[in-house]
Every structure is written in structure tokens, then in C-alpha cells.
Amino acid sequence: MTTLYVLINIAIMLLFMIGLIYMQKKHISFSKRVFTALGIGIIFGFGLQFIYGPTSEVIEKSADWFQLVGGGYIKFLQMIVMPLVFISILTAFTKLTLKNNIGKISTLILAILVGTTAIAAGIGILTSVVFNLEAIEIEQGDAETARAEELEESFGLIEDKTMPQQILDLLPSNPFLDFTGARPTSTISVVIFAAFLGIAYLGVRRKHREEADLFAKMIGAIYAIIMRVVTLILRLTPYGVLAIMTKTVATSNIDAILKLGKFVLASYVALVIMFIIHLLLLFLAGLHPITYIKKAFPVLTFAFTSRTSAGALPLNIKTQKSLGVPDGIANFAGSFGLSIGQNGCAGIYPAMLAVMIAPTVGIDPLTPSFIITLIGIVAISSFGVAGVGGGATFAALLVLSALNLPIGLAGLLISIEPLIDMGRTALNVSGSMTAGIMTSRITNELDSKMFYDPATKIEAEM
């Protein structure tokens, strides 16, 4: 009977996908299709959990098949991330879009990313205090104990590295290794390698114009092919969102979520407040926040469901460009945002954990010295946080170890980690896009007409 039920669930999923194909043929907008997929995934997931239970064999086998679509979509996105980062930044140099102000642009993007992360840390601290979150309130079961041991083991890999050594890890010693994404800092290393090639191109262009022009044409051709691949993959977004959301909801531990409801609520309050700050920054820059929300909705929805900032990079860059951000700035902001200054994973989350855990070792988290130190450590530690699953854990390890707080207690929220991580990832992506838009505005390179033009929505190509 188990096999029969699994086949029925797969058939229902296929029917939903056929419905999404029908919506596409009727030229229903990309945003509406993504939103529809999100809603159906939530309802279908809850239905499956209600009928079978989150730990049943039927759910386990059904989710495995759903993962074929959802996980496959994420793998396609991850497949294109490194080539996209590399070729897009190199193209910015060959088009001379960054020739005169690359230093200023890079500095502005980094300042906005790290600055907003520091603000996010402050919000995380405030929210933890208002909700009176304390680690001692959480029961430590087998899952939490196992997670604590895993974190202690992970910490052993980084505890001996000094800050200069961690900064040194950002530099590429073997760019071909970094193209494989083997290190948490691989994306930044590829950005640096591409920038070196771009600067070298500008030097050759001054002395050997013919060779430089040939190189530029080659890069332009490769860029066109890569962007076409990106478009083909992004067309799969509604189906990926449907499968990912169904699996996530169907396998979620609702009892644990309800039990730790206060921690979930506090986390999302902090995430929403920080998102409002993103909108406020855009408003202060003279841009309409509602326009940003409308155009950013598809990428934020995908980031929310997939929990991968790296996988969302192609959609992130396309969204920035639809908002009038130049190619070079969009690629720099999106690429830097994968490993630096993630507002959710590297800002709010470690700060909340630190405030929750501090009382367990007799530290008052409300003392000014603790708060200032925590915000400073969060900002500095936000460099090199991986934009894939586990980035928040890596950031938490760095912050807690720097404050001499128990590393193992970071595993207490493991049962609600996926739910919180969804909002964190969406905020990370919003933060990188905000950095790109603000940088473009400050340098007077933002195309305001494109920002407000509804015809430039990414769905025009989907």
C-alpha cells in the first residue's frame, strides 16, 4: 500500500506541474506563477503531513521523489553560479563599465553589506531582549545533543585560525579549485581572480588593442551563452518552488515548531524589521519601496523556499538589472553578498544566539560593553560566510567562539532551523540587492526609468 500512496502523491504533484505549464501557455506572469506554486506547495505539504504524518514511510519516499525536482533545480542553479560570477565581472571590465570607479564601487558595496549586517545584529539583540529569549528555556533532547557534538567538531576546524589567516583565506591560491566551490570563500576568490584578469585586460588594451578586442569578443560571446543558460534555468523556478515547498512543509516537525513558537516568532520579527530597514534605505535614496517589492518578489520567494543564497544568484542579478542597476555593480553586489555581510545568517542569527546563551555562563547581555563587542564581532565575522546551507552555523561558530560562549548550545534550535533559515536566506538576498541599488544610486549610475518601468520585470523573459 505504501507504494500505491507514493504513486498517488507523485501523480498529484505532476498534475500541479501540468497546471503551472498551462498557466505559462496562457502567458500568466512569472511572479503569479511563482506565488501560485508557493501557495500550492504549502497547502499540499500540510495535506500530506495531516494524512500520513511527517515521519511516515510514505512521506519519506514521496519527498525523495519531490526532491528530484526541487533538488535538481537547485543543482542547476548552483551549476551556473561560478561561471556566471566569473564571466559577468570580466564582461564588466571588457565593456569598460567599471574602468573609472571600480575601487569606489567595491568599497561602497562592502560598506553597505557590512554596515547593514551591524544594524541587523543590533536588531537581533533588541528582539532577543524584548522576547526574553534564553537558551535555558529549551529542552535538550537527542537531536540537540547530537547537533552540539557536530558543532564542536566543526569548530575544531576553524578555532586555530587567527583573523589575518581568515582574511588570507579570501584570496585565491588555486582559482581552478575555487571554481569547484570547494571552500566557503570560493565565490569571493573567483571574484578577485576575475577582477585581476579584468585589470590585466585594461592594461593590454592600452598597448595591444587588437589582442584586447579579440579577447573582449570572446568574453562577450561566452557571456551571451551563459546568460541564455541562466534564462533557461530560471524558467524552471515555479516547478522548483512547488517541489521544494511541498517537501519542506510535509517533513516539518510541527510539534517542535509550536513548542519553540516564541523563538520562531522572535526570529521573524527581527527579519521583518530588517527588511523594512532595507525598504527605508531605498526610500531615503528617493526610490519607491513598493516598486522594489514587486520586482524582487520572485527572487525573494525562491530564496525563501530554497534556503540557498548561492542558488538564487542568477535571479538576484537579473532582478537588480531589471531595477536599473548596471551589469558590473549587480554582479559585484550579488557575488559579494554570497560571502560577505549576510544580514540574516551572519547578522541577526549569531547576535540572537549570543544574547540567548550569554546568561548560561553568567554574562549580562545588556551591558553596553557586551553589546558593542557583539556588534563589532558580528560585522567582522560576516566576511567569508558561505552562501549555501550551513552559512549561519559557520557565522554562529565564529561569533560565539570570539565571545568565549559555549559552542554546543548553538544546536538547541536544530528542530526549527529550517523554518528560520528560510526567512534568513530571503533577507540575505534582499541585503545584497539593496547594496547594489544603493551603490548605483550613490554613484549616479542607476537607471531610474528602468527602476520604475514595469516592462523590465524579469518575467518578461520567462
Answer yes or no: is pLDDT of 429 > 80: yes
| Digit-coded pLDDT (tens) for 352-392 | 888 888 887 788 888 888 889 889 888 877 775 654 455 56
What digits encode the pLDDT tens for the residues 296-350? 988 898 888 877 787 788 889 889 999 999 887 888 888 788 777 789 888 898 8
Q: End-to-end CA distance of the chain, in Å?
A: 40
Mean pLDDT over the full length of the chain:
82
DSSP designation for 387? S
> Distance (Å, rounded) from C-alpha 344 to C-alpha 346?
6
Reading phi first (left if > 0) and then psi (alpha if -120 to 50, else beta), residue 404 is in: left
Quick one: 32 exposed, middle or buried, by C-beta within 10 A (0-12, 13-18, 19+)? Answer: middle
Calculate the dihedral angle through the C-alpha atoms of 174, 165, 428, 118, rounding to the nearest 10 degrees.
-160
* pLDDT of the residue at 144: 44
What pLDDT score was predicted for residue 29? 80
Read off φ and ψ for residue 383, nearest 5 degrees: -80, 130
pLDDT in tens, 119-157: 999 999 999 889 888 766 555 544 444 444 555 555 454
Mean pLDDT of 266-277: 94
Rounded distance, CA 184 to CA 170, Å? Answer: 9
Question: What would the mean pLDDT of 431-448 be, rounded to a whole number?
Answer: 92
State how far the Cα of 157 lies from the Cα of 10, in Å rounded to an integer.
41
Position 175 scores a pLDDT of 83
Q: DSSP for 405-421, please give it.
A: --SGGGGGGGGGHHHHH
pLDDT at 460: 46
Least Cα distance to 351 among 29, 84, 8, 120 occurs for: 120
What domains can be seen in the chain, in order of their start residue?
A: 2-461 (1.10.3860.10)
pLDDT tens digits, 189-220: 888 888 889 888 888 888 888 888 899 899 98
pTM (2 d.p.): 0.79
